[in-house]
Structure 1
Amino acid sequence: MTPSLSDLSHSLLDAARKAGADSADALAVSGTAVSIEIRKSALEQAERSEGVEIGLRVLVGRRQACVSASDTSAATIQALAERAVAMAREAPEDPNAGLAEAGQLARDWDLEALDLADPAPEPGASVLEASARAVEAAALASAGITQVEAAAAYSKRQLHLAATNGFSGGYGRTSTSLSAVAFTGSGTEMQRDYAGEGRIYASDMPGAEEIGRLAAERTLQRVGSVKPKTGTFPVVYDERVAASLAGHLLSAINGTSIARGSSWARDLMGKQVLPVGLSLIEDPHRVRISSSRPFDGEGLPTKRRAIVADGVLTGWVLDLATGRKLKMASTANASRGTSAPPSPSTTNIDLTQGALSRDDLIAQMGTGLLVTSMIGSTINPTTGDYSRGASGFWVENGRISHPVHECTIAGNLKDMLLRIVPANDARAHLSTRVPSILIDGMTIAGA
């Protein structure tokens, strides 16, 4: 009989104690994934994977080590624990390493309320292939589309975390996704764009035809792209790419960067980082959302909080170790896999939406750039200097004029974020909900 994830994690703890660990935590993860890819109307790839991984972190005093394996036999668990303890004894001391105190641990969470796993049966490969082919057919139905790459996927993942401080808990989640990349033209005139959707529940997915049609529509809009003007202009970040701006801020206030003193946001605690009236909210308890979770990677209870309130930065993103280094409490943002110690990361993020539509922002912009895709990134983590390759549409007199590509947009994140004007078009089902954003005075390098 295959042991449960709970049994595996507790077996790892027992082995760690016997091997000489002072304390330990263990993570057991099981997963199933099925994916189908269609290219040029032929089945390009069909994959299925399933397995269990186990990970163990041991502490000997303030020295720690992590080990992992995909073999769950008793002999492997014993050897894994012995190896981890031997490694920890040779590791340098880390005064910030350690488990949570018993009083800090999550208790009595309501997993059903989060609704993270679709109870429907796993879809067969034939079902996923049919969905991918339906997406392809919908895109090819648009005149001018010459080729489509379509993909459909399903995954189910479960985990259980246990520690010698008394914590023990687990949960599972599912994911269904469908996407298409559509092509038109050939050679140097070839254009491409995509559309894709993913949900926890397959029944919440939009239709394949809608996804295929949107991929085709976006691609055909790219025909005739040219380089834009060079100069200083306002820029609208389409909702598809606007979340990257919030991502840059979250990266800058991550406890790891702050503890090292290497972040451009290191002196911004309690200061204005967004315009007055805008907040950045983290809510790990949103129902049927992919990043929701009842506890973090160290067993601490997760909760809703305003990372930025009315434009003012209220706190860092911390796990226990970075919190200790900064002499602050963890914000229950620890994340971890089986092969590494915890590190800080966020879950579901919401930026306050505005009152205007994206079209309203474009009209307000006058002349400038609407960015719909980005490539590459040169972000100076210490100064916040920002430069990214972009493509999208040139706007004249508040109206989209023509598609553009091969340009660079530049500025400084600290200044850019203080000038953002949000639209009201964030999609409700996304884990990170950031609407289209207007920023004036950006440097554009084009023709």
Structure 2
Amino acid sequence: MTHFEVAVKTHNDAHFALSPSPHDSAEMLEIVLGGRQNTGSWISLGKMGEPVVSAPTPGILSWDEFRSFWVSWNGGGVQVGHGLQPSNESVILQWSSPLPGQVRHIGFSTGWGSVGEFKIWRKEDSDENHNEAFTLGVPHNVVPGSETATVFMIGDVMGPTLNNLDKLLRLPFGCGEQNMIHFAPNVFVLKYLQKTSQLSPEVEVEATDYLLQGYQRQLTYKRQDGSYSAFGERDFSGSMWLTAFVLKSFAQSRGFIFIDPEELRAAKAWLINHQREEGSFPAMGRILNKDLQGGIHGKISLTAYVVAALLETGIATEEEKIAVAKAKGFLESNTYTADDPYTTALSSYALALLRSPYASLALRRLNHMAITQDGFTHWSLTGSRVTDEDTFMGFSDGLSQSGRHTHCLATARLYSMTDYDVLTS
């Protein structure tokens, strides 16, 4: 091997090492691209040694895109250049001198205080096979002869999380809230396996049976007015959030089991009958399991969730169209009011479903709240506070609690609001 190609995405300081050993040594050759705040590049002997050759390269690296480079060497020197293939026209750095040692190892890193991503592949087009050697570190106190290693090859970073999804199937049980906690994931797993052509007849039969039992059980928590609550008629009021959750979940499961249209109509009617004149949906009833509702607190996020459930179920009557139009107006007028990522994510998703011109604005505000770190993007609820509007009949949202419980709730919400952003995008 006498050359390699690499794609780099970083703000500054992409470092490459050509070394005869797997450790830092005086015989190591270090190549730095975009050093000194992305203004210069150089080749030096040893880690952080004095440059033997350098060149001004302002803006050579970028955090917004991968940029390709090649490194080539032989007994008489080293060349570094732009692009995917070595060529004299694209040379950035050239050092003509015998290498201090044979290159047996290649290293990659960013400089102090910088993060980045590297893509490298050294398989030749003419190679029929490709071999890679990995060093497996084991503890010193391991029992001799018991060492084992397992290798997985995946096409994307989501691969490991999507294996064995059928193991997530559960038979719904418990009160009206607990039953839905187990009902909804069955729908999501079935839809994913079906879309990816991984749904086996055995899994489909099992999951469908679970959905049927969960559906029938949930109907026992339906109140005479069409709403749902944790304990049905034993509660003093139906729950606005749970009713919307049931409506949304039942609608999504129609592709797998029969859902009585009358059940959907009754739930929609109850939601619409309690809509306020300005278009919002009030927090009615109690929620016993705060983890279940994620980060929905306040009338903006609740309204966004309810209107999304209505739209996903389907709008048929004139009354439903009017209700959705009123909710659209409310969400549009409060686009700038939402000041936390979860509410903004829900609003942007609902506005996108509504085909509102404000959807792109809400999405831009959401992306502005994003935190990008180590090449990944996420959102944080740190600093979010609970107001009087966030209370559901005396059960305050988990953000007002302390320590460990708040962390667990926030973690679940972060996943959820990231999902809404992906759906909106």
Q: Which one has the largest radius of gyration?
A: 2
What's the TM-score bracket when you normalise by the shorter of the two chains? under 0.3
* Structure with the higher strand share, 1 or 2: 1
* Structure with the higher helix share, 1 or 2: 2
Higher relative contact order (CA 8 A, sep 6+): 1
